[in-house]
Amino acid sequence: MAASRQKPLRVLHAFPTFDLGGQQARVLALAAGLPSTWEHLVYAADGRFGAKAHPGGERFVPVFEGTRLPTFPLAARSVAKTLLRELGPDLVLTYNFGAIELAWAAGGARIPLVHHEDGFESGGRQPLRRDLLRRWVLRKAASVIVPSAPLAEIARKRWKIPPTRLHLIVNGIALPPPTSEEQRTRARAALGVPPEALCLGTAGGLRPVKNHARLLRAFAWLKERHPQSGRLQLLIAGSGPLEQSLRADIDLLGLQGCVQLLGEQKGIGTLLQALDLFVLSSDNEQLPIVLLEAMAQGLPIVATDVGDIRDTLASEGRPFVVSLLPPPGDAQALGQAMSSLLKDPVLREKIAAAGRSKIQQNYSFAAMRDLYLERYLDALGDKTGSGIPARSSSLEERNNDE
């Protein structure tokens, strides 16, 4: 008798949006490392599925396209329950508050649920009603996964997630080979950057929380004072609602010809290979994947002191993490840090080497993938044949180990 074919395990990913961001990029990469028999379906509350156009996006099948949930939470939960009955997923993975209705419906329907939180667009304290709704809904989640210590503290204190179900899994990436001079030359040619330029850059959605306006003001401050200001170039990769506002800032600051808004990129390898220095000017982050990618590519980094950024960097790079100050001091502090690094190529090389080493030791993609897979298998109630070692990701286990 012929062996029966294994039935695919149906996984529903529910997002506020499936346009590309750090969270979506991680999910695309993770899907490639999960069992090949898993079928990945994706729901986007805003109906946007831009991440499908990026590497790995072909694995995801959009569902409920054109379906918008009602604004009122109870009504949204009711509609979500109907959608889940039609779809019949084996596992529901929800992401951030924008998918809380799907999490609520999955918990009520006793469908295995894992919830992921990666931070808040506002960067500040969330409304109490959101804390209370998370507290109520996430009682039914097998696990709640966060990527940073500050967010784990919020989940523990404000959402009352017990340590046994709260898992801190830091982001991880595959370490690429060091950038060769040939790759650097090709990358600069592709992006229109002169070979002799001192090139700074960043990547992220053009949204308020990323505060690219601060970066532009810091770059203008740097241009006025750097002894080789004619060589300075700034590249900003990403798309979003603030594009026109940022273009107006570029004109107002007189930065035409030395700042490029590159738009959304299918991967940022070319951007990173072209740079001398990577900059993050955000008002809020947790543990951004783009930071790890820049470290892995061997770039020194200037960043605002938010989330886990300071602790993520190697000790050699921490002096260039700047405190958030009121304008105009914020831009000046960022500009001074950029200036110090651009003047010292030996220090840049030292920081770059230390960053790559820390990625290799602490932020491997394989370790991250195994921890996520363990959480998903645990939610499904089946760890047999997983072949993954037991690791410590829950807050209770971490505290016991310390």
Where are the chain's structural domains? 9-172+364-401, 181-362
Q: According to the model, what pLDDT value does residue 250 have? A: 98
Torsion of the alpha carbons at 357, 362, 363 and 367, rounded to the nearest 10: 130
- The answer to whether 290 touches 22, Cβ cutoff 8 Å, is yes
Q: According to the model, what pLDDT value does residue 388 have? A: 41
Q: According to the model, what pLDDT value does residue 213 have? A: 97
Confidence check: pLDDT of 203 > 60: yes
- The answer to whether 271 touches 265, Cβ cutoff 8 Å, is yes
Q: According to the model, what pLDDT value does residue 346 have? A: 96
Paired with 11 in beta bridges are: 40, 91
Q: From residue 241, how far is each of 209, 210, 245, 292, 338 by CA, in Å?
A: 12, 12, 8, 25, 27
CATH topology of 9-172+364-401 equal to that of 181-362? yes
Q: According to the model, what pLDDT value does residue 122 have? A: 56
Q: Which residue has the tokens 């949930």?
A: 69
Proportion of the chain above pLDDT 90, given as a percent: 81
Task: Kindly report, residue by residue over 299-348, the tens digit of the pLDDT.
Answer: 999 999 998 999 999 999 999 999 988 888 899 999 999 999 999 999 99
Q: According to the model, what pLDDT value does residue 73 have? A: 84
From 286, 284, 318, 322, select the one nearest 304 (Cα to Cα). Answer: 322
- At residue 390 the predicted structure's pLDDT band, cuts being 50, 70 and 90, is very low
* CA angle (268, 274, 276) in 5-degree steps: 115
Q: Average pLDDT, whole number, for the chain?
A: 91
For residue 367, the tally of other CB atoms under 10 A from its CB is 15
Q: What would the two tokens of residue 204 be?
A: 């992220």
pTM of the model: 0.84
For residue 90, the tally of other CB atoms under 10 A from its CB is 16
* Average pLDDT estimate for 134-155: 95
Q: Is 195 in a helix, a strand, or coil?
A: coil
- From the number of C-beta atoms within 10 Å of its C-beta (0-12, 13-18, 19+), residue 270 rates as middle
Confidence check: pLDDT of 381 > 70: yes
Q: According to the model, what pLDDT value does residue 1 have? A: 40
Confidence check: pLDDT of 263 > 90: yes
For residue 163, the tally of other CB atoms under 10 A from its CB is 16
Confidence check: pLDDT of 137 > 70: yes
From 342, 241, 260, select the one nearest 301 (Cα to Cα). Answer: 342
User: Looking at the domain that runs over 181-362, which CATH code has it been given?
Assistant: 3.40.50.2000
Separation CA 145–CA 136 (nearest Å): 16
Confidence check: pLDDT of 277 > 80: yes
Chain length of the chain: 402
Confidence check: pLDDT of 291 > 80: yes
3-class secondary structure per residue, 290-343: HHHHHHHCCCCEEEECCCCHHHHCCHHHHHHEECCCCCCHHHHHHHHHHHHHHC
* Average pLDDT estimate for 388-397: 50
Angle separating helix axes 212-225 and 329-342, nearest 10 degrees: 60
Task: Kindly report, residue by residue over 80-124, the tens digit of the pLDDT.
Answer: 999 999 999 999 999 999 999 999 999 999 999 999 999 876 555
Confidence check: pLDDT of 5 > 50: no
CATH homologous superfamily, domain 9-172+364-401: Glycogen Phosphorylase B; (3.40.50.2000)
Q: According to the model, what pLDDT value does residue 327 have? A: 84
DSSP 173: B
Residues whose CB falls within 8 Å of the CB of residue 131, separated by 6 or more in sequence, listed in order? 158, 159
